[in-house]
Structure 1
Amino acid sequence: MASRYPAMRWQILESTFLGYATFYLVRNNLAPAAVSLSTALHYDNTMLGTLTSVTAISYGLGKFLMGSISDRSNPRFFMATGLILSAICNFLFGMSSNFETHLFLWSFNGFFQGMGWAPCGRSLGHWFAVKERGTIFGLWNIAHNVGGASIGWLSAYLAKNMGWENAFIIPGIIALVGAVYLLIRLRDTPQSLGLPPIEKYVRLHPDKLLDFASKKTPEEVAAEKDEDHEVLHHPAVDDPERELGTRELFVEYILKNPALWVFAFCNFFVYIIRYSLIDFGPKFLHDAKGASIVSGGGSTVIYEVAGIFSTIIIGWLSDRLGGRRGMVSLLCLIPIFVSLVAIIMIPEGHLNWDLFFFGVIGFFIYPPVMLLGLAGLDFTSKKAVGAAAGFIGLFGYMGRTVQGTGLGWMADNYGWVPALSAVGVCIVMAILLLSLTWNLRPRN
């Protein structure tokens, strides 16, 4: 057991990482291909915004509903099935040229995308302990950036050189390969392999724990008890393997959980911020700053790559600060606000500066995205991880729905400056909400 357990932990991390990155290839391929798609099919910003917003709410619903199902499913088959269904939607999207058909297919694609995060969170929650989650999830969260950056370049290249259709068909083929990979590599809980749960393993082999939390002396631990920290307790901490009934799961661990509500409402605004520049960044740079299709699509690559190192560093920092995910997320939003103001004020002809500030926003936006999702694990039972992640994610994609339709409509009717200014207001709202969680940390 001593040698097999660590190997399986890394296998789970590897397979969920690559599997989730592949989900991005058949989710984020629309924005980089938007210019070619709108030129070929005469889609305006409002139509493109409608595509992203309707898809966003279907993804939020899918993440919530599928998250609940994933808590009782084998992630190996659950995640692979989601990739296969998303691949089929992409194939059909590339074969159609009708807006209503595209809207229908991309909505279903969003729903099936909800089968991606929940099984990953469930797997990592069962294989890694609380004290190492900030750093482990920071490392795993790079999957967002790897997938997003890869499809940002690939989709723009395919749309320009092979037609917008192939920006959907070729990623669909890659997704099918990814589904086969998941069936080969991903596994269920430690108990399903004859191994003890992570809590027992840590007690038997404490030297194997990837404990990146701050090392404290007994005196420091005693002193910390007198500090003004809010600690959220759950009965499941004492019995983490206890199975939950459906009503208990939703009522006691989700609906009556005040921390999840705060993080969920905050996620609403964070997703508006995040996806405004993913969905409309290339189009904004093309329309307002004179960038070419490929140069504008490069903003997506820079945005995603910039977040690679930040999630590791800031995830580790949140562990060092006792799991105070809200406080760390709030601090990340301040440079995002400054960078957005800079992008608005920079005149046309200074694309390098625009891309630089896109990178700054990408660097700081992904830690809050990761930490808000991680809060769903920290502040509920690990038997309710999928439902908690789905609940927080539902609010996030409600925000993306508002962003998709609202930002496109504002850009068409009032211009890009008012549209991006509205994003700035969302940053302020997220900061105010996160201030309520400044000292909130999990029990462990």
Structure 2
Amino acid sequence: MAKAPISIQAIESSCCVNVPERKRYKIYSSWMWILTFLTYCSYHMARKPISVVKNVLDKNCSEVTPPPGTDTNSSHWCNWPPFNEDNASELLGYIDSTFLFTYAAAMFISGMVAERVDLRIYLSTGMVLSGLFCAMFGLGYTFKIHSIWYYILAQFLSGFVSATGWPGVVTALSNWFGKSKRGLIFGLWNIHTSLGNILGTLIASAFVTYNWSLSFVVPGIIIASLGVVVLFFLIPEPAMVGLPNPNAQKEGVATPPLQRRSIPEYATATQEEAAGLLDSEVEQVSYIDKEVEAVSRQREEEAKESAIGFFSALMIPGVIEFSLCLFFAKLVSYTFLYWLPNYIFDNTSFGASVSANLSTFFDVGGMIGGVLAGLLSDSTGMPASTCSVMLVIAIPMMLIYLEFSSINVGVNVFLLIVVGVLVNGPYSLITTAVSADLGTHESLRGSSKALATVSSIIDGTGSIGAAVGPLLAGLLSGSNWNNVFYMLMLSDVFALLLLTRLTTREVRQRLRQRRRNTHSHL
């Protein structure tokens, strides 16, 4: 097992010597929740600038006033070659697809690598490189680079290293929190996705009108800086600081209590009897020492357990169903993420600025949906059923949004929040609490070396859907936006069907439990 970083070792030796284990666990687990929250928030923040800068790359220079001191003849401050031609939308589509498909492919590899290396160094390296390649795209403006292949390379590299984030943070956090209230804990934690999108939009928007290079460089600096913090302060496993893993299912060997002899026994015994009593106690102490040593060896063996393979992870009950369900759920979510501002602008009387601001309410709904799905899953113990109910309601709600979103701003905001809750709720639950539960499934017999692999399989499959959805939306939106929404509703139907077996099993288990409880009260 990897050692805790030197900074944590220093804190342990100076501040935590006499702190009770329970309090130490609470402090460290809270710190891990905060640090992993900020970590993945920064990953999403670094992915967002391209959606903001797109509007400048192919913007008609005659429609806007140039920033002070801009050389409009040479700097291409608005129409930026090669994105100033008639095929600008096609080129920007290549940019999006490069990142999304690279990210999806790399995700399947990332989890298996994360299981076999020091998670702290793995995450830190991924964050620093993500910052570097995010800034690389923006530096195309600084150095006046107009080759499409430069920007495609930047997105390819960004997509590849961004795949380090999800399996890393899910594994690190899951090692600190057991199944009790995991849905709520992860539901609140998963707000980082929407918050990262919003922060990325705000930061990129602050610079886009006069120097869109900074729209990429500033988020790049932020995520790289957080990567340094992760290097010095991340504690991926509780055992690094001498604390137990809440997901461990193996039990140590029980040791009998030491049978101490009373003073009168020794006082009334003969010399030979007293020597025999003393020998008996020495044997007991020796036996207990051996048992303690056996338990220690067992814990060392658990720490050295081998990582699970890709196909073994697939065989964990529920992994395939939830992975395919996430393919369609993430397809719907990312289609809204990439195309919602365009839909609002094209189909309502709202301007471009208002349309962009309105689209953020979908993320607000996503925050609420993640927490709500986690609460329902915790209270019922039925994650598949929770997802199914939200998917069932989401299908007609998307049709309602399609029909009534153009009435006024208030109606649009309300419907967007509701749709965000129902669309992102299942997506959030599957990628967090469900992935963590499956990664610590009872069939693994307590192994903790499956979390990253399972989460990468599930999120990698979902990421393929995230790449396919926006592409399909681009093809369908040209003819009629109604077709895009029909595609999204059909995708949710497929997601629902894929959970049928798991939902049916959960309902049957709940009914059997109720019957047993009823009989026990009779």
TM-score normalised per structure 1? 0.83
Please state whether the residue corresponding to 2:235 is helix, strand or coil. Answer: coil
Kindly indicate whether the alpha-carbon contact (under 8 Å) linking 1:260 and 1:388 is maintained by their aligned counterparts in 2: yes
1:359 corresponding residue in structure 2: 417
Residue 36 (structure 1) aligned with residue 102 (structure 2): no
1:402 corresponding residue in structure 2: 468
Kindly indicate whether the alpha-carbon contact (under 8 Å) linking 1:156 and 1:293 is maintained by their aligned counterparts in 2: no
Q: Which amino acid aligns with 1:275?
A: Y
Q: Which amino acid aligns with 1:423?
A: L
Go from structure 1 to structure 2 and tell me whether the alpha carbon gap of 1:243 and 1:45 turns closer, same or farther (over 3 Å shift). Answer: farther
1:272-421 to structure 2, matched below 5 A, reads 272-322=331-381, 324-346=382-404, 348=406, 350-373=408-431, 374-381=433-440, 382-412=448-478, 414-421=479-486
1:123-162 to structure 2, matched below 5 A, reads 123-159=172-208, 161-162=209-210
Please state whether the residue corresponding to 1:71 is helix, strand or coil. Answer: helix
Go from structure 1 to structure 2 and tell me whether the alpha carbon gap of 1:340 and 1:59 turns closer, same or farther (over 3 Å shift). Answer: same
Matches of 1:87 and 1:133, distance apart in 2: 31
Matches of 1:342 and 1:68, distance apart in 2: 42
Matches of 2:251 and 2:199, distance apart in 1: 40
Residue 72 (structure 1) aligned with residue 116 (structure 2): yes
1:212 corresponding residue in structure 2: none
1:167 corresponding residue in structure 2: 215
The alpha-carbon deviation at position 440 of structure 1 amounts to: 5.0
Q: Which amino acid aligns with 2:157?
A: F
Matches of 1:169 and 1:260, distance apart in 2: 38
Query: How many residues are paired up?
Result: 403
Kindly indicate whether the alpha-carbon contact (under 8 Å) linking 2:330 and 2:465 is maintained by their aligned counterparts in 1: yes
Kindly indicate whether the alpha-carbon contact (under 8 Å) linking 2:175 and 2:247 is maintained by their aligned counterparts in 1: no
Give CA deviations for 1:375-432 in whole Å, capped at 9, x if unaligned: 22212443111111111112111112211322112223x2322223211211111122
Please state whether the residue corresponding to 2:212 is helix, strand or coil. Answer: coil
Q: Which amino acid aligns with 2:122?
A: F
TM-score normalised per structure 2? 0.71
Go from structure 1 to structure 2 and tell me whether the alpha carbon gap of 1:356 and 1:52 turns closer, same or farther (over 3 Å shift). Answer: farther
The alpha-carbon deviation at position 244 of structure 1 amounts to: 5.1
Q: Which has the larger radius of gyration?
A: 2
Q: Which amino acid aligns with 1:171?
A: P
2:279 corresponding residue in structure 1: none
2:310 corresponding residue in structure 1: 250
Matches of 1:27 and 1:347, distance apart in 2: 28
Q: Which amino acid aligns with 2:212?
A: W
Q: Which amino acid aligns with 2:483?
A: P
Please state whether the residue corresponding to 2:318 is helix, strand or coil. Answer: helix
Residue 8 (structure 1) aligned with residue 28 (structure 2): yes
**Higher RCO, Cα 8 Å, sep 6+:** 1
Go from structure 1 to structure 2 and tell me whether the alpha carbon gap of 1:188 and 1:114 turns closer, same or farther (over 3 Å shift). Answer: same
Q: Which moved more, 1:126-135 or 1:287-296?
A: 287-296
Kindly indicate whether the alpha-carbon contact (under 8 Å) linking 2:390 and 2:423 is maintained by their aligned counterparts in 1: yes
Matches of 1:312 and 1:419, distance apart in 2: 28
* Partner residue of 2:492 out of 416, 419, 427: 427
Give CA deviations for 1:283-341 in whole Å, capped at 9, x if unaligned: 2222333543332221342122222233223202201112x211111111233223321
Alignment gaps of 5+ in structure 2: 1-20, 60-78, 141-145, 253-299, 441-447, 510-522
The alpha-carbon deviation at position 104 of structure 1 amounts to: 2.1
Kindly indicate whether the alpha-carbon contact (under 8 Å) linking 1:135 and 1:319 is maintained by their aligned counterparts in 2: yes
Alignment gaps of 5+ in structure 1: 205-238
Q: Percent identity?
A: 22
Please state whether the residue corresponding to 1:402 is helix, strand or coil. Answer: helix
Go from structure 1 to structure 2 and tell me whether the alpha carbon gap of 1:151 and 1:190 turns closer, same or farther (over 3 Å shift). Answer: same
Q: Which amino acid aligns with 1:62?
A: A
Go from structure 1 to structure 2 and tell me whether the alpha carbon gap of 1:363 and 1:33 turns closer, same or farther (over 3 Å shift). Answer: farther
1:233 corresponding residue in structure 2: none
Q: Which amino acid aligns with 1:305?
A: V
Residue 176 (structure 1) aligned with residue 224 (structure 2): yes
Kindly indicate whether the alpha-carbon contact (under 8 Å) linking 1:288 and 1:348 is maintained by their aligned counterparts in 2: yes
Kindly indicate whether the alpha-carbon contact (under 8 Å) linking 2:405 and 2:412 is maintained by their aligned counterparts in 1: no
